[in-house]
């Protein structure tokens, strides 16, 4: 039986941020992670030798005020700070004209303005309810919204949009955001392959049962996703109060998946758009990025119900879907250069059960409740608890710091002065 000040559950960005803060404050901690690696939803793999592919987060959102930007600088990770989304539309066998593109962008701007206006007015309605449903560009807006929120337009409240702190800067990390988080977190001691299955918090302290033994602590910082909480993977004893359950049920995770295909040879040439959306009447639209950073791969993005459906259809169906979209734009020969694929399946991932949280319309905005501690003993972090940077990696990290500060205050432990 291990005894410590704080047990931190989950070694994603939130858990790692919490652990680093605990170390600063002189709190003893044990950080336990269910999986075989740190990073959680921040995860980079090589799609080809030396070619990084992010399975989870990729962009430093709100880049100029994102703490991971400074960490990237310190760790020597390059990012693109003049990145703009390119989303050339290809539909019905041709590229959209300049006029059509301008009309579409004007529709997008008006739709987002309507969403923000409704959110700022405190209306708890969905993106769909706040926007024009009759435009020919509505499916395009819905697709982009499903990537942004990981749920569909009818499933996300405008209150989220109004409260998110968006500077409009989205900076992709060349060698992978997941690799950046892994490098930053590498100095944190973590017990891997140790899922917490039971968390008893009814007595004077905390008792956490893991596959590698029981840990006794004065407080716990829970950083697992709302998908894990809702799935009951951790048996809380006593059960969490109703207001906490209502909070995580109002902030479910949707699905955003990435389908990557390595290019053994370049079938595109230099003139191709870096980012495009292919949309035909008989198919869901798909946002596709061609050779990000000049790296030899393409990646197709899916979100919302369609993303969840395609995930269930399996890896081959996902690769076929992206291949068919690319053939429709570039011709059948495009597939001749295709190599290995990486297809994510976040919806079925047993340690997340989804991609990121979205506030359900009509349930009130429950992020503050999700973040609120219980009995000065149970503290909550993770992207869904962030009030201004939810659904992001840096929001997760900052929430870990916030939860550790709360725990330190509750335990009356801040050993910084003694250490200096």
Binding positions for ligand FAD, rule: CB under 6 A: 9-15, 32-35, 40-42, 56-59, 61, 195-196, 223-225, 228, 233-234, 256, 258, 344, 346, 351-352, 355-356, 382-383, 391-394, 396
Task: For the chain, give the number of residues.
Answer: 420
The smaller minimum CB distance to ligand FAD, of residues 137 and 390, is found at: 390
Q: 208: burial class by Cβ within 10 Å (0-12, 13-18, 19+)?
A: buried
In the structure encoding, which two tokens stand for residue 75, read together? 């760790």
- Report the nearest approach of ligand FAD to the CB of residue 208 (Å): 9
- Report the nearest approach of ligand FAD to the CB of residue 39 (Å): 7
The smaller minimum CB distance to ligand FAD, of residues 33 and 169, is found at: 33
The smaller minimum CB distance to ligand FAD, of residues 222 and 263, is found at: 222
CB-based contacts of 300, cutoff 8 Å, min separation 6: 258, 259, 286, 287, 288, 318, 321, 322, 325
CA–CA gap between residue 46 and residue 112 (Å, rounded): 36
The smaller minimum CB distance to ligand FAD, of residues 55 and 290, is found at: 55
DSSP structural state of residue 359: P
**Contact yes or no for 380/275 (Cβ under 8 A):** no
DSSP structural state of residue 387: S
Q: Per the omega criterion (within 30 degrees of 0), is the bond before 238 cis?
A: yes
- Report the nearest approach of ligand FAD to the CB of residue 122 (Å): 25
- Report the nearest approach of ligand FAD to the CB of residue 48 (Å): 20
- Report the nearest approach of ligand FAD to the CB of residue 173 (Å): 9
The smaller minimum CB distance to ligand FAD, of residues 7 and 111, is found at: 7
**Contact yes or no for 198/233 (Cβ under 8 A):** no
**Contact yes or no for 120/87 (Cβ under 8 A):** no
In the structure encoding, which two tokens stand for residue 181, read together? 């988080």
Neighbours of 21 (CB within 10 A): 23
The smaller minimum CB distance to ligand FAD, of residues 334 and 387, is found at: 387
- Report the nearest approach of ligand FAD to the CB of residue 254 (Å): 10
The smaller minimum CB distance to ligand FAD, of residues 122 and 368, is found at: 368
Residue burial 137-175, b: 16+ Cβ < 10 Å; e: rest: bbebbbbbbbbbbbbbbbbbbbbbbbbbeeeebbbbbbb
User: E strand or H helix at 250, and its extent?
Assistant: none
The smaller minimum CB distance to ligand FAD, of residues 90 and 366, is found at: 366
Which residues lie across from 44 on neighbouring strands? 54
- Report the nearest approach of ligand FAD to the CB of residue 7 (Å): 10
In the structure encoding, which two tokens stand for residue 10, read together? 């989950």
What residue has token string 């292919």?
A: 278
- Report the nearest approach of ligand FAD to the CB of residue 55 (Å): 7
């Amino acid at each position: 039986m291990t005894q410590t000040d704080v047990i931190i559950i989950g070694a994603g960005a939130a858990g790692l941020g919490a652990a680093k803060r605990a170390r600063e404050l002189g709190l003893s901690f044990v950080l336990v992670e269910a999986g075989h690696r740190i990073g959680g939803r921040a995860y980079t793999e090589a799609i080809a030798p030396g070619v990084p592919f992010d399975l989870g987060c990729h962009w430093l959102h709100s880049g100029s005020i994102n703490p991971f930007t400074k960490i990237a600088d310190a760790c020597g990770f390059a990012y693109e700070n003049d990145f703009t989304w390119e989303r050339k539309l290809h539909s019905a066998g041709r590229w959209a004209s300049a006029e059509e593109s301008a009309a579409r962008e004007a529709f997008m701007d008006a739709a987002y303005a309507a969403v923000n206006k409704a959110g700022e007015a405190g209306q708890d309605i969905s993106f769909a309810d706040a926007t024009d449903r009759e435009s020919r560009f509505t499916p395009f807006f819905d697709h982009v919204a499903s990537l942004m929120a990981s749920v569909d337009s009818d499933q996300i409240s405008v209150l989220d949009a109004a409260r998110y702190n968006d500077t409009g800067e989205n900076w992709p990390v060349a060698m992978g955001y997941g690799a950046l988080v892994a490098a930053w977190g590498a100095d944190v001691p973590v017990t891997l392959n140790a899922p917490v299955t039971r968390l008893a918090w009814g007595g004077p302290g905390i008792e956490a049962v893991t596959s590698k033994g029981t840990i006794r602590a004065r407080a716990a910082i829970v950083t697992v996703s709302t998908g894990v909480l809702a799935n009951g993977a951790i048996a809380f004893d006593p059960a969490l109060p109703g207001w906490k359950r209502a909070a995580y049920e109002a902030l479910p995770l949707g699905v955003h998946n990435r389908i990557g295909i390595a290019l053994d040879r370049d079938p595109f040439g230099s003139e191709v758009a870096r980012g495009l959306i292919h949309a035909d009447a008989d198919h869901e639209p798909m946002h596709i990025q061609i050779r990000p950073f000049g790296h030899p791969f393409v990646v197709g993005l899916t979100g919302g119900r369609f993303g969840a459906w395609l995930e269930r259809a399996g890896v081959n169906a996902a690769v076929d879907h992206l291949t068919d979209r690319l053939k429709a734009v570039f011709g059948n020969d495009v597939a001749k250069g295709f190599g290995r694929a990486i297809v994510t399946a976040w919806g079925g991932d047993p340690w997340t059960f989804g991609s990121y949280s979205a506030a359900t319309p009509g349930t009130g905005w429950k992020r503050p409740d999700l973040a609120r501690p219980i009995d000065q003993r149970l503290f909550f972090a993770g992207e869904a608890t962030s009030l201004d940077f939810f659904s992001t990696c840096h929001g997760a990290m900052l929430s870990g710091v916030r939860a550790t500060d709360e725990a330190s205050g509750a335990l009356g432990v801040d050993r910084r002065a003694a250490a200096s």
